[in-house]
Every structure is written in C-alpha cells, then in structure tokens.
Amino acid sequence: MTKIQEPSRNWEIVHMDWYDAAMNTALLIWNRVVSFTGIFTEILSDRDPKLASALWKDLHSSFGTKLSFSTAYHPQADGLAEKMIQALEDIFRSILAYSLDFKYCDGFTHDWCTLLPALEISYKSSIHASTNQTPAILEKGWNPRLPQDSLRKDLVEIHPTAARFKGVIERS
C-alpha cells in the first residue's frame, strides 16, 4: 500500500503481502498510518480483496471515507499515485543494481522489504521538479542527514561487509 499526502507528496509504504484478512489489514492501517495522519477522506485501491471486503467498506463508511477502486496503470486512475509508484520502482531498481549481496551470513537478507527504508530516505531527500524541494523539506522543514553525507573517508581497515555496504551507498 502506498499512501500519498499533498502538498509534500509524503508517502509511506506499508508491506501488506503477509496480511491475510481484512481485520488484520484494518489493524495494520490503523497502527501504521491512521494513528499518525488521521482518517482518510478517500482511499484509492487497486481492488485488493482485503480492501474490498464488507468489513473494510463498513468501517470506512462509518468514518465517511470514500473508497475508490482502479486498475493498475489505467489512464483514468490516480496519475499521482501511478507516477509515485513508477518513481519508487526506479529507485528500487537503482538500489538493487549495485550488486549488494543479500547473504544471511553477512547480515543481509533476501527479503526485499528490508530495502524499503533505504528507498524511503532516497525518495524523501530527492528534489522533485514539481515543487523544486525535497518532500522532507516540505514535510518537516529540514532534510535528513544521509549515510553518504557522513561516511568517513579516512577509514582504512573496516569489516569487509561494511566496506561493501559503504561502496553501495557511495555508488547509489
């Protein structure tokens, strides 16, 4: 699920693949999104069965939230969300393109969800053409300190995995 706010175009990805019931999805949305931003006025969904259930419809009807359903990449769908998802896919591909090995023995995992925080900070600290600002500036008034801004250049001997990770950050 991708949630987008205007005007900062702030977003939050909530990984929901493992949620199997509408009630669990509703609790996840409440705990991870609504508790921070408040009740939505509208939700645009790609017809996920969990979001189209009777429970979900009744829950949002009681809060006055409009549920809209679209088809992925449909021209009449929410263009902002489609552009956002395309940008996130591009960032995700660039993070993966630098050959970071996801080996359990090195402390990395094969689970792509672990890369979402890196994707989020990349997106929120990038200047956007439509606003000429970063989403972080628009949302919080400041940009986060990025790992590549604080990497020490004088370190000679570091753990091999830390060295590989440092190289990935510098290249991306």
Q: Could you tell me the pTM of the whole model? A: 0.51
pLDDT at 66 > cutoff 80: yes
Domain-wise residue ranges, the chain: 2-171
Residue 116 DSSP code = H
Query: pLDDT tens, 24-42?
Result: 777 777 777 777 778 888 8
The C-alpha atoms of residue 118 and residue 106 are separated, in whole angstroms, by 18
The residue-averaged pLDDT of 60-77 equals 72
Asked if residue 141 has pLDDT above 80, the reply is: yes
User: How is domain 2-171 classified at the CATH fold level?
Assistant: Nucleotidyltransferase; domain 5 (3.30.420)
Q: How far apart are CA 87 and CA 94, in angstroms?
A: 11
